[in-house]
Amino acid sequence: MNTSNAQSLFAAALVVMASSTTTCSHADDPLASWNDTAAKEAIIRFVEKVTTEGSADFVPPGERIATFDNDGTLWSEKPMYFQLLFALDRVKTLAPQHPEWKNEEPFASLLKGNVKAALAGGEKAVAEIVMATHAGMTTAEFETVAARWIATARHPTTGRPYTEMVYQPMLELLAYLRANGFKTFIVSGGGIEFMRPWTGRVYGIPPEQVVGSSIKTEYEVRGGKPVLVRLPELNFVDDKAGKPVGINSYIGRRPIFAAGNSDGDLQMLQYTTIARNADDTTPRFGLIVHHTDAEREWAYDRDSHVGQLDKALDEAPRRGWTVVDMKSDWKGVHPTERR
């Protein structure tokens, strides 16, 4: 090999190395589905700040608590909350055991396929549907039912499994926070036992890190075997002012990072981020997923029945919360779009 050849080879190798470095850098980006906008930059700056040892902003790993709303924050919530779609499916499945439903609202309308008429009864109708479909069995039986539904049901407009209606950028954010010593929790208005069977697999969040709404349960020994029976009685509503209550009850410490998408998350965002006094200088991060993308997902905020975002959107600039513009901040929305 002459010198010139060697130089050429060396130059070629440099090019290969450089391009492979670029490729690696791209593949290694923990937030690869986020565009390089202010939102992504703010997240990274915050995480680097609280994880830099010796810095005044350093937060010990145990205190790196991050809480995430679920509906509209980690997965979609249109045309209605997915758990409500689960409940409607359950009504159809259980109908043969309840001949009386043919003449009783909200069930009669539901069984005729008229969801709108069924839900016209408001919260009372929803509560009746939830209790009829979520109570009266053991926790183990309900877990089986929920797990089977999530594995087989399909979203009414996209035809995809519900677990593919999650947001790829948020999956990356969860993993990025965990890789930086954060403990990630779900704090959702949804049913705690509806979520737990699949949050580990889908979000990497184990059952003990899921906070949600619940009905009461009762311990019984049936045929010598201990069971917990789900009672048709509300236990806790983990929404709005209930979210800080749920955080305190289940987690027992104040998060340093909270993410939501609606006014149902307003109090969680306040509780997480507002400094209590002059000594309270720990950096804190509030994030709002703003649904601005009618093409890839849905666009809605102030006037939406599901996931209304009004007060929290007004409060965001004053509190320094990062409002994620789904359309411009995310390269892709759902995981399937990146395949």
234 binds a second copy (CB under 8 A): no
CB of 261 to a second copy, least distance (A): 19
Total interface residues for a second copy by CB under 8 A: 40
Q: How far apart are the first and last CA of the chain?
A: 44
224 binds a second copy (CB under 8 A): yes
Q: Which is nearer to a second copy, 120 or 275 (CB)?
A: 275
What is the per-residue burial (b if ≥16 Cβ within 10 Å, else e) of 244-268? bbbbeebbeebbbbbbbbbbbbbbb
Q: Which is nearer to a second copy, 293 or 310 (CB)?
A: 310
Residue 36: φ, ψ to 5°: -80, 65
- Interaction mask 54-83, a second copy, x per CB under 8 A: --------x--x------------------
CB of 330 to a second copy, least distance (A): 30
CB 271 within 8 A of CB 321: no
Q: Which is nearer to a second copy, 250 or 300 (CB)?
A: 250
Q: Which is nearer to a second copy, 176 or 236 (CB)?
A: 236
Rounded distance between C-alpha atoms, residue 141 and residue 225, angstroms: 14
Rounded distance between C-alpha atoms, residue 198 and residue 253, angstroms: 25
- Interaction mask 166-205, a second copy, x per CB under 8 A: -----------------x--------xx--x---x-----
What part of residues 239-268 is at the interface with a second copy (CB under 8 A)? 241-242, 244-245, 248-253, 267
CB of 107 to a second copy, least distance (A): 28
- Nearest one of 122, 125, 87, 86 to 104, comparing CA atoms: 125
What part of residues 123-162 is at the interface with a second copy (CB under 8 A)? 139-140
Q: Which is nearer to a second copy, 125 or 256 (CB)?
A: 256
Q: In the numeric block, which tokens belong to residue 166?
A: 């999650």
Q: In the numeric block, which tokens belong to residue 99?
A: 């001949």
320 binds a second copy (CB under 8 A): no
- Strand partners of residue 225: 222
26 binds a second copy (CB under 8 A): no
Q: Which is nearer to a second copy, 168 or 214 (CB)?
A: 214
Rounded distance between C-alpha atoms, residue 207 and residue 190, angstroms: 14
| Burial of 133 per CB tally in 10 Å (0-12, 13-18, 19+) | buried
| Residue 37 CB contacts under 8 Å (≥ 6 apart), including other chains | 325, 328, 329
Rounded distance between C-alpha atoms, residue 185 and residue 91, angstroms: 30
CB of 310 to a second copy, least distance (A): 18
Q: Which stretch binds a second copy (CB under 8 A): 47-55, 104-112, 129-137, 223-231?
A: 223-231
DSSP sequence for 302-335? TT-SSS--SHHHHHHHHHT-EEEEHHHHBS-SSG
207 binds a second copy (CB under 8 A): yes
CB 313 within 8 A of CB 302: yes
Radius of gyration (Cα) for the chain, nearest Å?
23
- Interaction mask 266-305, a second copy, x per CB under 8 A: -x--xx--x-xx----------------------------
90 binds a second copy (CB under 8 A): no
Q: Which is nearer to a second copy, 139 or 282 (CB)?
A: 139
214 binds a second copy (CB under 8 A): yes
- Nearest one of 332, 320, 327 to 45, comparing CA atoms: 320
- Nearest one of 69, 66, 45 to 272, comparing CA atoms: 66
217 binds a second copy (CB under 8 A): yes
| Amino acid letter for position 266 | L
Footprint of a second copy (CB under 8 A): 62, 65, 139-140, 183, 192-193, 196, 200, 206-210, 214, 217-219, 221, 224-226, 228, 235, 241-242, 244-245, 248-253, 267, 270-271, 274, 276-277
